[in-house]
Amino acid sequence: MAELDEQRRRLTVKLVYYGPAMSGKTTNLTRLHDLLAAELKGDIMTLETDGDRTLFFDLLPLGFTAPSGLLVKFKVFTVPGQVAHDGTRKAVLSRADGVVFVADSRRHQASNNASSFENLMANLAILGLDGAVLPLVVQFNKRDLPDILSEAEIAARWAQAPWPLLFAAALEGGGVLATFAALLDGLYDSLDRQFALGAAHGLTRAAFCAALGARP
């Protein structure tokens, strides 16, 4: 969960990109790093297998300073999608403040998407996190590939879902910032309740999102 260090005036927030193997979680972080201003970000750290699949996690550190002087720091992680690494997924997901679920838009990946989403919900429950309350955004990635589900088909399948639904072609950056903005928008209410971002730190919803180059 988000941690406030009163002495150092630092609020640390943990965000996690979750989804099936090769859905584009690492690509989202890489493009996010490319798109954000240099003063907002640190170096991206990646631990990979020989096959270029995430083995442990990627980590992208981000941050900005609120009008009150509070430093708001984000640690943005990915998790490995392979079934064998469920223990690692739980460890990285633990104490998350918000999640982006990255799905693969290709038709033949529908079953993998469903299994991975069920795994996300199960792991949240195991970790004591409420999937109905935790800020969550669903991104359907790889819109630039052939044989994908249409936006209408996806919207129909997710019609009863309460989470924002985004579409992306992360390899070229399409939808990456919009997805991150949607997560920040959902995250603001949770952080404002805990730490009075608006009243105590002069940080409105719009400013919170705009500080990292996004818009609610």
Query: What residue spans define the domains of the chain?
Result: 3-210
Nearest to 135 by CA among 215, 44, 18, 21: 18
- What pLDDT does 53 receive? 53
Indicate the class that CATH gives domain 3-210.
alpha beta
Question: What is the model's pTM?
Answer: 0.93
- What pLDDT does 56 receive? 56
**What are the structure tokens assigned to 46, written together?**
């990646």
> Could you tell me if 182 and 172 are in contact, meaning their C-beta atoms sit under 8 angstroms apart?
no
Which residue has tokens 């550190």?
Answer: 61
Query: Which residue(s) pair with 167 in the sheet?
Result: 140
**What are the structure tokens assigned to 74, written together?**
């984000």
Each of the 216 residues of the chain gets a pLDDT tens digit; together they read 899 999 999 999 999 999 999 999 999 999 999 998 888 999 888 766 544 454 456 788 999 999 999 999 999 998 876 766 788 889 999 999 999 999 999 999 999 999 999 999 999 999 999 999 999 999 999 999 999 999 999 999 999 999 999 999 999 999 999 999 999 999 999 999 999 999 999 999 999 988 887 665
- What pLDDT does 195 receive? 96
